Every structure is written in C-alpha cells, then in structure tokens.
Structure 1
Amino acid sequence: MNRRAFSTLGCPGSGLDEVVRLARTGPCDGVELRCAAGQPTYPGMPETEADAVAAHLTAAGLDIVCLASYVQVAADRADVVEDLAGHLRLAARLGAPSVRVFGSGADQPEGRRDRAVRCLSRAAPLAARLGVDVLLETHDEFLTGERVADVIEAVGSPAVGSVWDAVNPWRAGESPDRTAAVLGPWIRHVQLKDVATPTDLRPVLPGHGNVPLAAVVEQLHRLGYQGWISLEWERAWYPEAAGLDQALTAFHQVLDTLAPPPTGPAPSGRPAHL
C-alpha cells in the first residue's frame, strides 16, 4: 500500500505548525517540501535551520518525502550542477530521500536534452554518496514519460529517477498506460492533481476534473509501485483555489475509492491507505 503525502505548494507561506495540522486532518504520513524563498525550506538555508525543520516534522510523525527544488537541469548556465549539489546536500541534512528537478532550458531549446544528461550525469555520483536520488519531473520541456525516460536512460545511474506528475503527460497526449510503460523502471515519486482540460490548468478538486486518475492509479498498481503518492495542490500559483484542507479531503476520497481490497488487517488505529 502506498503512503500519502502532500506538497507545501498547496499552503504557500504557512509555517510548520500549519503543515502538521493539515497532515493530521487527512491523515497524511509525509510532506513534500517546496524549496523556495519564503518557505520553511529554501536554497542555501543554514544547517541549524534545516535540522530544526527535520526535528519538528519528525516529532510530529511526518516523513519528508521529497525536496521539491526549482533546479532546471537543461538550463544553459554554468552554475546548474553547483545549484543541484547544494539542494542534494540540503536534502541529505533534512533526511529527504530525493530532490525533484525540472528540465526547462526553454530559452535555449537546442541541446537541452544533452544539457540535462550532462548535468544529471555530473550530479549523480554526489547523489549516490549522499543517498539522495535526483528525480526529473514530467514537466516543461520534458513533459511526457517518453522524454523523461530518454534522459534518464542516457544518464544510466541508479541515483537518477523520475517524478510522474499525473497531469503533464496526459495534457501532452500521452496516456497513463504509455507513461507507465516507458517510465515505469524509474518512477520514484508520484504527484496527483486534477484539472478541467489539457489547456486549463487551474486546480480542480481531485476527482472533479478530467485527468484519468483511476487509470494512473491502476497503472501504479500494475507496476507494483510502492512509493509515495503526493497531492500537488497549486494554490501558490492559483490563490483563488480552494484551501488545501478541502483538496486533501477530495484526494483521500479518490484514493480510498481506487484502493484495492486490503490483504490483511490495517495497522491499529489507522485506515488502510492505497
């Protein structure tokens, strides 16, 4: 059964106490920490602050499941590998198992696949030493599972994997079964969300839009995926969206509906999660 988490993208500006409160209303066992200015975790934060964040969440019984960075591995910049290295060290300090990265490189489209491969290849040895995976998300210039898989396969390191954002391959015309088929060996983290159409990306409560969430979850079951499933509620970009607590209720309802029958008793005092 997969454990559930949510991204702090859904509660921009909230402190750790509010993050813990939101997790307990679900309940969720983990949190995906957005790494950005003004958030509980941010690039270059001192080790003492990172230790305090980790201790606060550990005391609340929450795992940090991913450090959601904004590193663009296909960008034509000399400092990209150094930037990624800093995020990897921060993730290791926090006890996070992975760092999410984007492709981008939109300003220099020629060669972005090769730039991404070079950046990830250079960062992979450090990631392996730290025990922190680098996860390339199905996003921007690498929108589909096919494109992400092409990059990861070229890198050829077990320290490099993928985040399957459920919306992006679908809006690019790639079906969930195709995404799972090409990306399956490298999926280490999954983000679920819902929207109305492939061109209208405003957040819709999970199960109330048109993203084929049932097909995505079915493919995860087929793959035997045992990792985290995280709600990515983009309230930071769409402040008019419903609150994260409401989105989490819908998220759990969707996953409870799609969960396979339990094979044994649930842990004492906790519901059987997907």
Structure 2
Amino acid sequence: MRLAVSTLGMPGLGLDDAIGIAREYRCEGLELRLHPDTGVHAGLTDAERVEARRRIEKAGLEVAALAGYIRICEPGPDEPVLDGLRADLELAAALGAPGVRVFPRGADPSVGARRLRAVSDTAGALGVRVLVETHDLMATGAAVARLLDETDRPETTGALWDLLHPWRNGESPADTLRHLAPHLAYVQIKDAVSADDTTPVPLWTGAAPLDEAGALLRDHGYDGWASLEWERTWYPQVPSVEEILPAAATWVERYTAR
C-alpha cells in the first residue's frame, strides 16, 4: 500500500502547506478535496491546473485521488450530475489523478449505473476512474458492489472503501472486502469513538476495526492507495493532522503485502 493524506484534514491551509505536511510525514500522495477553500476545484484555469500539478510533482508527490462531491445516485435530472462529474474528471486528468471520489446520496443503483455508464467514454478517454465511496445510503460494500455490478464498466469505475462506514452499518470487514474485491480501487483509513459517535480520534484509540481490515487487505494483496481521511474540517476541535499521520504511516507499513 501507499500512504496518502486528504486535505480534508487541513482546513485553512493552502496547497503548499499540504505538500509540506505530506512530505514531512512520509506520504507519497495527496488526496485533494475539491472545494474553493482548498484552492483546488473545477473552476481552476488551465494555467492554474498546470501550476498545481507542477508544484505537487516537483515535491515528489502524486495526486492519489480527487475527493469530489458529486452525488451519483441522487434523485433528479441527470444532466447537472453528469456535467459536474465530467468537469471533475477533466480536472483529475489535468492534475494527474487516477480517480475522482463520488458519493451515492441515493438508494437506487439503477440511477447511478445509468449515470456512470453515461460518463464512461469520457472517463476512459481521460484515463480516470470514478470511485464510489461506501457512504450515506450505500454505506456497505454490498450496496456499492450492486451499483458497480449493474454499471458493468470496470475500466472506468471502482470502489472506495471507507473503513468506518460499512462497519458502523453492521457489515464486517471480511464481508466488505468480499463484496468489493472485484472493484476495490482505493481505501480511506480513519478511527472514531464508536459506531454511533463518528468523532475522529487518533488511530488505534477508537472502535474502528483497523487491524482486522488491514490484515484482510494485506492478505488480499491490495497494493493501492491508503489515504488518511482526518475530518478536521467537520470536527475543528480534534488534533491537527500532523499528530495523526505517524500512526497512519505505521498502519500502512504494517499491512502492506511483502
């Protein structure tokens, strides 16, 4: 596995600060949250995209993924969703990111599958995958797998396993991996107080099954990104991401297949 860190954990910091933190704490990649506050979003000019990529690559880092906010299964007309997703895919290609995270935000897999198929040609031409996170109304591996199975576009779609959400919705890590194995493209690591209280806590001090999931991923031979998603943007009272990253690096080292 390769360690990345999400800029969600760095509220108020710009790209240069994020690069510095990632380098200092042995990260190989940055997961870039798409939001004006971070300085990275689909509204960047071509010149700004080139410059952002130059700065990241000059530091010896890669863009592990873009953390977008498109709601792929949300009820409503398709075109606003498709337009937003195409814009994120184009930004990902410009920045050298292999994938764009999306949320389900709906319970009907046929809606998301239709939209994912609609952008498949664009994603394929750009060399970028759409990564559906285990989140909200499709929080389990079983639910995301149903969506991706129906989509049937493995070259341009994949699953993002947020280690917290399937477990807190009653799905064991073994079952999550069993469902997601054909689609698994990205992993987010985090810990929380409990299944009911998702306040972030330092790794190995909460209730999330970090060791169980790590051992499963190692034995499965997963060799993709593991990104620390420290949600300080939503929980400003928690410690800085710099305090959490050493344990994230330890987790990745411990559970990387040899």
The TM-score range, normalised by the shorter chain, is over 0.9
How far does residue 145 in structure 1 lie from its aligned partner after superposition?
0.3
Cα deviation, 1:126-153, whole Å, max 9, x if unaligned, reads: 1111100001000011100000000000
- What residue in structure 1 maps to residue 120 of structure 2? 124
Q: Percent identity, please.
A: 38
- More off after superposition, 46-55 vs 167-176: 46-55
- What residue in structure 2 maps to residue 177 of structure 1? 174
Structure 2: runs of 5+ lacking an equivalent: none
How far does residue 258 in structure 1 lie from its aligned partner after superposition?
4.3
1:197 aligns with 2:198: no
Q: In 2, are the aligned partners of 1:133 and 1:161 still within 8 Å (CA)?
A: yes
Query: Partners of 1:178 and 1:87 in 2: how far apart?
Result: 31
- What residue in structure 1 maps to residue 91 of structure 2? 90
How far does residue 259 in structure 1 lie from its aligned partner after superposition?
5.0
Within the candidate set 253, 266, 273, 2:250 is matched to: 253
Query: Partners of 2:112 and 2:100 in 1: how far apart?
Result: 15
- Aligned ranges 1:81-230 → 2 under 5 Å: 81-105=82-106, 112-158=108-154, 159-230=156-227
- What residue in structure 2 maps to residue 70 of structure 1? 69
Q: In 1, are the aligned partners of 2:2 and 2:252 still within 8 Å (CA)?
A: no
Structure 1: runs of 5+ lacking an equivalent: 263-274
Query: Partners of 1:61 and 1:241 in 2: how far apart?
Result: 29
How far does residue 19 in structure 1 lie from its aligned partner after superposition?
0.9
Helix, strand or coil at the partner of 1:20: helix
Query: Partners of 1:42 and 1:15 in 2: how far apart?
Result: 13
How far does residue 42 in structure 1 lie from its aligned partner after superposition?
1.1
Q: In 2, are the aligned partners of 1:167 and 1:194 still within 8 Å (CA)?
A: yes
Q: In 2, are the aligned partners of 1:20 and 1:57 still within 8 Å (CA)?
A: yes
Q: In 2, are the aligned partners of 1:3 and 1:228 still within 8 Å (CA)?
A: yes
Q: In 1, are the aligned partners of 2:218 and 2:255 still within 8 Å (CA)?
A: no
Q: 1:187–1:258: structure 2 CA closer, same or farther, 3 Å change rule?
A: closer
Q: In 2, are the aligned partners of 1:67 and 1:99 still within 8 Å (CA)?
A: yes
- Paired amino acid for 1:67: L
Helix, strand or coil at the partner of 2:233: coil
How far does residue 231 in structure 1 lie from its aligned partner after superposition?
0.3
- Paired amino acid for 1:154: E
Kindly report the root-mean-square deviation, in angstroms, between the aligned alpha carbons of the 2 structures.
1.3
- What residue in structure 2 maps to residue 8 of structure 1? 7
Helix, strand or coil at the partner of 1:38: helix
Q: 1:225–1:254: structure 2 CA closer, same or farther, 3 Å change rule?
A: closer
Helix, strand or coil at the partner of 1:56: helix
- Paired amino acid for 1:26: Y
Cα deviation, 1:67-120, whole Å, max 9, x if unaligned, reads: 110000112233101110010001001110000000103xxx6xx322111111
- Number of residue-to-residue matches in the alignment: 255
- Paired amino acid for 1:120: L
- More off after superposition, 197-206 vs 34-43: 34-43
Query: Partners of 1:166 and 1:68 in 2: how far apart?
Result: 16
Q: In 2, are the aligned partners of 1:85 and 1:126 still within 8 Å (CA)?
A: yes
Segments ≥4 residues shifted beyond 6 Å: none
- Paired amino acid for 2:52: V
Query: Partners of 1:215 and 1:18 in 2: how far apart?
Result: 33
- What residue in structure 2 maps to residue 240 of structure 1? 237
How far does residue 257 in structure 1 lie from its aligned partner after superposition?
4.3
- What residue in structure 2 maps to residue 42 of structure 1? 41
Q: In 2, are the aligned partners of 1:71 and 1:83 still within 8 Å (CA)?
A: yes
Q: In 2, are the aligned partners of 1:165 and 1:191 still within 8 Å (CA)?
A: yes
Query: Partners of 1:220 and 1:258 in 2: how far apart?
Result: 7
